[in-house]
Structure 1
Amino acid sequence: MVCLRVNLLTKLGVLVLFQVAALIIYNSQDIDPEPSVHLAGDTVDYSAEYRIIQFYKHQGIPQDYTYHDVSIATQCSVNHLHHLVELAERWKGPISCTVFAPNLDASYADDAIDILRKCFSDIRKYVYFHLVYPAQHPADVSKVGVWQDLSCSALLDKLQNYGYQNYVVGNIPFPHNILRNVARKGVITEFVLLIDIDTMPNLELRQEFNNFAYRHSLFGLLTEQTVFVVAAFEIKKGIKMPSNKTELLSGIRTGTVRTFHNETCWWCHRSENFDLWRKIPQVSNLEVAFYADWDKSWEPFYISHRNVPLFDERFKQYGFDRIQQICELHIAGYKFAVLNNAFVVHHGWKFRGNFYANKDKDNAQNWILFNYHFKDDLQKKYNTNRTCSPVELWIPPGKRRSAPQPISHGRGVVASRFKPNILKEGAR
């Protein structure tokens, strides 16, 4: 009997020791006192790598909504949301905006959306928001409310100083084309202008294009295979955005405005033929100034019918993410009509060297995808032998001056749009 009691006590002692040990281990772990709170109701992209919430915190359709209109589609991470204030004020019409919101960025995006709507009536009336985040980095809204007491100006300051560099969101690859497609799919008008969120259209462009579309019976014309190109420029930081073409050309003359990517990739907008465009005077009506020839490095901004091909979502980070979609338009037989008075202007000049650390690596990866996979896919999709361009040597942009010539008729570029006598280089 004594032995039985001893054995029982021994077993109880061992059990207690195990429980104490388990408690010590549990308490020694780094347990988050505020666990993550994830959003429900999301869908997935075609690869199942990303989650999507369309029309996040939707507040309804404005009373003056009409399908025969043109919307802006745009995308950003949290640190660029402040640009919506100016964009909505200039556009005065529907804007579909996708926000990349992995992890706790979703909490701050949620607060920012609420405060932006409260502070700015144009955002409240016109902007539809969508969220995208990686499946491995789900949107975490456990910190919602941290910014809720911020004033309007304090919020804008928070957003501008959020701390991200372009293409770098907590070391998570930035999926431009998924974000663009989500914004495109969130457009509820017949026409769409897809631009970067820090790129501003000229004033009255929406109304001028609607008038143009009515004059030329474009609404409801689903067979029209023309995109309407708006010339692209960049302006020095701190300088007021031009309202119209006259003001824009004045900025060109004074040196505060120049063609987009003038220093980093001017050939990416060569087809817009600025020398011809600037000679066409500003007139009261928006019209087609001329038709542009497609070029393999062209990255135009344009207004199009909502049914134009979407972006290829395999392209992430830097390089070929816009070129591939223009390539598909070319293969599909679209025409590129440059408008006479229309333009967009990017906030700030772009300079060589002001890119993130892995730009060349990502560009090379996308070059392989574009030349050895995407272009073949297009030929199968459209059942054609037509192609965008012959395969050329991959040469990082900063090393092209001393590089050998491309394999097949590279058209060449110069270092600056306004320095035409500089030695030509291989194309992008």
Structure 2
Amino acid sequence: MLTRRSWVLRLSIFLNVAVLLYVATHIASRGDLLDELQAPAARSFLSVEAGESAGEAGDGSPPSAPMTPPRPASTKEASTTPEASPRPSSPAESRSEEPTPNPVTRALEDVVRCIDRSAEPRTAQRSDFWVLYNYVPAARTFRCWESITYTTHADYTFLDNLKPLLERWQGPVSLAVHAPGTDFQPTVDAIRYARDCLSPLVAELVTFHVFFGTRHVPRQIPRAPQLLAIRANCTLPAPWANVTSGALYKTKSKILYPVNIGRNVAREAATTHYILPSDIELYPSPNLIRDFLTMVRRQDPPLMHTNPKVFPLPIFELQDGSELPANKTQLVAMLKNGSAIPFHKKLCPGCHNVPRSKEWLAAEESEGLHVFHIGKRTGYFVHWEPIFIGTHSDPLYDERLSWEGKSDKMTQGYALCVLDYEFQILDNAFLVHKPGIKTLKKDPQRAMLAGKTNALIRKVIFPELKVLYGTRKGCAV
């Protein structure tokens, strides 16, 4: 009995000693683990403090936003631009292998949050048209958040507008050129001449798309490398010099200008998130891209609204021979002395009458860009045809409408109204038409086409729009 108790006592002592040793070992290892966990936390805290100090000591810009997973770049971008080089597959790799991005650029990228779009050349059908997308691409490429693309359309006789447009825009341009039948060859010559002779900015920033009807296919279509291998003779007059509309294949074949095909082709081919669909004879106020993206990065309260939004630009006409205004202050001075007028004042004043236009003109020019007023396409402005900075999410233009038939932007305006878009008018940004004030001229042929277009909209397109988008009180085509 004593022997059994003695053994039990010894076993109990042994077990207690083992438990104490285990607990001591666990406590020691836990201390090491805490040290390991606390070390990176301390380093992270010091890193944040150092980043905040650097932000306070610099130009007042906020510290960079947290690193987000990288977006894939297109094949072309990855091979031609440093910014589009393949990135690491995780934020941790990015921190270790890439230099710290510029705080302003990172912040803008985080705010815009878009996906890069391909700029590879391709051929496709669109309705009754063939389209050569990215037929002659620009030398410079942009990430989707880096700029705004000016998207526009023309035939080759309007390419002289590229020089003044680019000097003010200084950013990417997506241009759809209508070139049916025998208009194709002079179009090719004009593209080459514009790139080689007008301005270096043309080759750097303009991407040309070419389109033509399926019943008016050119006999030959050279590949872009063949086209660019031959340089233009800049001592000769431009291919568009002294060419009248009556000399074009389009006119001789009685082809209506498919304005909305061109608009949609140029829009959909743009590689940036923000786009300015406009007409090639409308030139923007200088520094618009820089100031607009600064405003986007700043995220003023109106930009935080949940409604879809676009940013209309007031448009003005200038007397023939006038110099383009460099800013709003100069523009207002020209309006006061009569050398500038609101766009289409003598043709269709209601089509381009901007909400709070008098207050806009009375407001003094300020630094940068801000939202001056939020308008709607209702009431007195129910037939407003704004030209605006928007995105790829905005409704497209109806491709059944022609330039000759007029009202080509009205259907899109109705869709914007029904979708309850906010028209956030900017305080210092504007467009000016190529100098030369338009006057009303009687054109029976165009009046007849306008009547047919109105009937098409009223009987066919408007009922479709009501099914597709619904209705809203105050909205009309």
Q: Which residue of 1 aligns with 2:179?
A: 101
Other-structure match for 1:19: none
Q: Deviation per CA, 1:23-81: give whole Å up to 9, x if none.
A: xxxxxxxxxxxxxxxxx963211x3x11111001225543x645342110010011101
Aligned-pair distance for 1:312?
0.8
> Residue deviations 1:178-228, cap 9 Å, x none?
10000001111010111110110011111111111111179x989650111
Query: What amino acid does structure 2 have at the position aligned with 1:163?
Result: T
Contact map agreement 1:235 1:346 (CA 8 A) in 2: yes
After superposition, the Cα gap between the structure-2 partners of 1:310 and 1:152, relative to the gap in structure 1 and judged at 3 Å, is farther
Report the counterpart of residue 263 of structure 1 in structure 2: 346
Secondary structure of 2:153's counterpart equals strand
* 1:234-253 map, 5 Å: 234-253=317-336
Letter in 1 for 2:391: H
Instruction: Report if aligned partners of 2:122, 2:133 keep a CA contact under 8 Å in 1.
Output: no
Does the Cα contact within 8 Å between 1:104 and 1:141 map onto a contact in 2? no
Contact 2:274 2:391 in 1 (8 A): yes
Whole-Å separation in 1 of the counterparts to 2:321 and 2:455: 39
| Residue 372 of structure 2 is aligned to residue 289 of structure 1 | yes
CA shift, 1:86, in A, is 1.1
The residue number in structure 2 matching 1:406 is: none
* More displaced stretch, 314-323 vs 243-252: 314-323
Structure 1 residues 152 and 44: alpha-carbon distance in aligned structure 2, compared to 1, 3 A threshold = farther
Q: 1:298 matched to which residue of 2? A: 384
Out of 178, 187, 209, the residue aligned to residue 130 of structure 1 is: 209
Confirm or deny: 8 A CA contact 1:379 1:386 kept in the other structure.
Answer: no
Larger Rg: 2
Partner of 1:163: 244
Contact 1:379 1:387 in 2 (8 A): no
Contact 2:317 2:343 in 1 (8 A): yes
Aligned with 1:72: secondary structure? strand
TM superposition score normalised by structure 1: 0.74
Residues 6-405 of structure 1 aligned to structure 2 (within 5 Å): 42-45=123-126, 47=127, 49-58=128-137, 60-62=139-141, 65-119=143-197, 120-141=199-220, 149-151=232-234, 154-155=237-238, 158-164=239-245, 169-170=251-252, 171-216=254-299, 225-294=308-377, 295-317=381-403, 318-347=405-434, 348-353=436-441, 357-384=444-471, 388-389=475-476
* C-alpha contact (below 8 Å) 1:80/1:160 kept by paired residues: no
Structure 1, unmatched stretches of 5+, are: 1-39, 391-428
Q: Distance in 2 between matches of 1:99 and 1:222?
A: 37
| Greater share of helix | 2
- TM-score by length of structure 2 reads 0.67
Question: 1:152, 1:208 → 2: CA distance?
Answer: 38
Check conservation: 2:346, 2:440, Cα contact below 8 A: yes
CA gap of 1:152–1:88, structure 2 versus 1, over 3 A, is: farther
Partners of 1:270 and 1:198 lie apart in 2 by: 19
Percent identical across equivalent pairs?
A: 26
Contact 1:56 1:131 in 2 (8 A): yes
Tell me the amino acid that sits aligned with residue 401 of structure 2.
Answer: F
Question: Is the CA contact 2:274–2:389 (under 8 Å) kept in the aligned structure 1?
Answer: yes
Residue 386 of structure 1, CA deviation: 5.0
Q: Please tell me the residue identity of whatever aligns with 1:93.
A: G
Alpha-carbon spacing, 1:217–1:293, altered in 2? closer, same or farther (3 Å):
closer
Q: Spell out, residue by residue over 1:250-298, the C-alpha distance to the aligned partner (whole angstroms, 9 max, x if none).
A: 1111211000001011111223332121011110020111122312321
Contact 2:138 2:206 in 1 (8 A): no
Unaligned runs of 5+ in 2: 1-120
For 2:232 and 2:297, the matched residues in 1 are separated by 45
AA in 1 matched with 2:203? R
Secondary structure (helix, strand or coil) at the match of 1:358 reads helix
- Equivalent AA in structure 2 for residue 314 of structure 1: R
Contact 1:228-1:337 at 8 Å conserved across structures: yes
Distance 1:306 1:41, change over 3 A: closer
Letter in 2 for 1:225: P
Note the alpha carbon deviations across 1:323-367, whole angstroms, 9 max, x for none.
Answer: 2111111011111111100100111211000x6552111111111
1:379 match: secondary structure: helix
The CA RMSD measured in Å over matched residues stands at 2.8
CA spacing shift, 1:352–1:288, aligned 2, 3 Å: same
Cα offset for 1:153?
A: 7.0
In the TM superposition, residue 142 of structure 1 has moved relative to its aligned partner by 7.5
Amino acid in structure 1 at the alignment position of 2:356: N
Q: What is the rounded CA distance, in whole Å, between the counterparts of 1:189 and 1:141 in structure 2?
A: 32
CA gap of 1:205–1:385, structure 2 versus 1, over 3 A, is: closer
Alpha-carbon distance between aligned partners in 1 of 2:326 and 2:236, rounded to the nearest angstrom: 24
CA distance in 2, matches of 1:132, 1:225: 31
* Contact 1:115 1:152 (8 Å CA) reproduced: no
Name the CA distance, whole Å, in 1 between partners of 2:472 and 2:413.
Answer: 17
- 1:126 CA drift (Å): 0.7
- SS in structure 1 at match of 2:211: strand
Aligned AA (1:188): T
